[in-house]
Amino acid sequence: MKTIKTLISAARCFVTLIEAGYQHHQVEYQFGGGL
């Protein structure tokens, strides 16, 4: 069952990247005056 653990860890990494990118976009939006 190695593949399942690999998929779970990959999914977690993917979610972390998406959340980090989203937060960065929110910060840019606030400091950029909404542009």
Identify the CA nearest to 16 among candidates 26, 8, 6, 5. Answer: 8
How many whole angstroms separate alpha carbon 13 and alpha carbon 5? 12
- pLDDT tens, residue by residue, 1-35: 799 999 999 999 999 999 888 887 787 777 776 55
Total number of domains constituting the chain: 1
Q: What integer pLDDT is reported at residue 34 of this predicted model?
A: 53
Buried b / exposed e along 1-35 (16+ C-beta atoms within 10 A):
eeeeeeeeeeeeeeeeeeeeeeeeeeeeeeeeeee
Q: Which domain holds residue 6?
A: 1-34
